[in-house]
Amino acid sequence: MVTAGDFRNGVTFDMDGSVMQIIEFQHVKPGKGAAFVRTKLRNVVTGAVIEKTFSPTDKYPTAIVEK
């Protein structure tokens, strides 16, 4: 399992049945409110790129990808 607080570029994980790879991530700590992780993700199967925001405590199963 990988938490959103442990995200790094190149990490692959399973999100809602799709294997996603992190292209970019940014851990944001605003002065007011809770911290969050802003990411840009690529679907490994389709190649689609999405942007998504996570709470640092969100947990996802890791995915091992072979080329």
Average pLDDT over residues 1-21: 93
Helix (H, G, I), strand (E, B) or coil at 31: coil
Do residues 37 and 61 touch, judged by C-beta distance below 8 A? no
Residue-wise pLDDT for 17-41, tens only, equals: 999 999 999 999 999 999 999 999 9
- At 66 the pLDDT is 85
d(CA 61, CA 55): 15
- At 18 the pLDDT is 92
pTM: 0.86
d(CA 23, CA 38): 11
Arithmetic mean of pLDDT over the chain: 93
| Domains in the chain with CATH codes | 2-60 (2.30.30.30)
- At 67 the pLDDT is 77
Conformation bin of residue 17: beta by default, left when phi > 0, alpha when psi is -120 to 50:
left
